[in-house]
Amino acid sequence: MRTVGVVLGLFLLAPGLARAEGKFYLKSGDRVVFYGDSITDQRLYTTFTESFVLTRFPSMTITFVHSGWGGDRVTGGGGGPIDVRLKRDVLAYQPTVMTIMLGMNDAGYQPFNKGIFETYAKGYEHIVATMKAQAPGLRLTLIVPSPYDDVTREPKFEGGYNNVLLRYGEFVKELAKREGATVADLNTSVVDATKKAKEVDPKGAEGLNPDRVHPGTGGQLLMAAALLKAWNAPAIVSDVSIETTGEKATAKAENATVSELQASESSLSWTEQDRSLPFPLNLKDQAVALALKASDFADTLDRQVLAVKGLKEGTYTLSIDGAAVGTYKDQDLASGVNLATVETPMLKQALQVHDLTLRHNSIHFVRWRQVQVPLQSESSPNIPQALNALDAVENDLVVVQRTQTQPSAHRFELRRK
């Protein structure tokens, strides 16, 4: 085996990456507040979105606050009237971006009612007007309510409740257009994927939204995908293409660097440093696996492509850092395989990032929902100290989270069996 010449595409990386970030909705320095009811309060589509942004854009500094409260409507709810909620749970964080998803509770779980809808419309308009007046420059993303599952179970009344939510969603789209806001449809694509999942696995499809209202991990992954697409999120994690003939090989790479490329008649090895991490998919979660099978998530948001052309006919084992991660036919490698859906060291690192995403948000939840709000009428001088201490703990976790997002170099080897 001998080291051979390498043609690298990544001397163009910096401008290329800048173009990708320029198209993406979020910018370095943004602070995003997710606002909504119990579906946001689940902290699933929101944390999926946060982890996607951090792993795909590790050089960007973006922070996230999750401010969903179960039972909320446009008028507020258990956390207080809407103006209290907006002041305490959104404006206090000085957001540059705010997402709003309300409607599941507002529509009343009944056939369309004009009076109930008018309350929703006026309340939603009040939220938008308040935020635009009190936070000039704030970028709003208005979200079409996520679906009530009328796919895997029979509708409870003619037409079904989800059709009512879609009517509310049409208002959301119109309001977004009127107010110059971004709109994200977290209903249509999720319903389409649920229909496909039902064809593949009817019982498993019910697990995408177990109680018809609150999607599980698979359903919320689909919701995150819809939001990310509305934000023009990039599909590419990295794209590496190698051409080899015997002991000669060249490589091209997008959003990655390739070095130390070595080739022989039966093997190929190289060092690769991607500039992003794949999305932190828990491949052992059956609901997530079904959501991937029923949607275009991997193709449109999570492409970590390896293509190798010119290999001799046969089956090859791919190892990364000395550990086998998969076996592939030469023709499959020539077409390109997506490593984002394979248990690689890069995926393991991304999952560690997501674990830190969940942990820091859990600390924030304790601070907000178990200390700040319940004790807001108390006069103890220790309360501000407790809040500050919890903020410090969360910040420590965020620092570790950001450090963990930085990709590492890995040694790849393809060996013919």
Over the stretch 66-76, which tens digit does the pLDDT of each residue have?
999 999 999 99
Residue 260 and residue 244 in contact, taking contact as beta carbons nearer than 8 Å: no
Residues of the chain whose pLDDT is less than 50?
1-22
Q: Both 16 and 148 in a single domain?
A: no
Q: Which of 230, 260, 276 is the last residue of a domain?
A: 230
Q: What is the pLDDT at residue 16? A: 36
Q: Residue 210: which of 156, 153, 157 has the closest Cα?
A: 153
Tell me whether strands 236-245 and 303-309 are parallel, antiparallel or unpaired: parallel
Residue 50 and residue 40 in contact, taking contact as beta carbons nearer than 8 Å: no
**How many residues comprise the chain?**
417
Q: Both 327 and 382 in a single domain?
A: yes
Q: What is the pLDDT at residue 20? A: 43
Q: What is the pLDDT at residue 11? A: 28
Domain count, the chain: 2
Token pair belonging to 172: 């959301």
Alpha-helical regions (H) of 154-313 = 161-179, 188-200, 202-206, 217-230, 286-293, 297-301
Q: What is the pLDDT at residue 9? A: 32
The whole-angstrom separation of Cα 149 and Cα 187 is 10
Beta-carbon neighbour count of residue 345 at 10 Å? 13
Domain range spanning residue 215? Answer: 26-230
The whole-angstrom separation of Cα 373 and Cα 41 is 15
Q: What is the pLDDT at residue 211? A: 98
Write down the residue that tokens 């595409």 correspond to. 9
Q: What is the pLDDT at residue 19? A: 34
Q: Both 16 and 44 in a single domain?
A: no
Q: Both 265 and 277 in a single domain?
A: yes
Q: Both 10 and 154 in a single domain?
A: no
Q: What is the pLDDT at residue 322? A: 97
Q: Both 256 and 224 in a single domain?
A: no
Q: Both 258 and 109 in a single domain?
A: no
Q: What is the pLDDT at residue 247? A: 85
Q: Both 154 and 74 in a single domain?
A: yes
- Residue 15's region, left for phi above 0, alpha for psi from -120 to 50, else beta, is alpha
For the chain, first and last CA: distance in Å?
17
Q: Both 43 and 96 in a single domain?
A: yes
The whole-angstrom separation of Cα 22 and Cα 68 is 29
Q: What is the pLDDT at residue 265? A: 87
Q: What is the pLDDT at residue 87? A: 98
Q: Both 217 and 261 in a single domain?
A: no
What single-letter amino acid sits at 332? D
The whole-angstrom separation of Cα 86 and Cα 127 is 8
Q: What is the pLDDT at residue 348? A: 98
| 3-class secondary structure, 310 | coil
The dihedral built from the CA positions of residue 309, 312, 316 and 322, taken in this order, carries a sign that is: negative
Q: Both 49 and 18 in a single domain?
A: no
Q: Both 158 and 259 in a single domain?
A: no
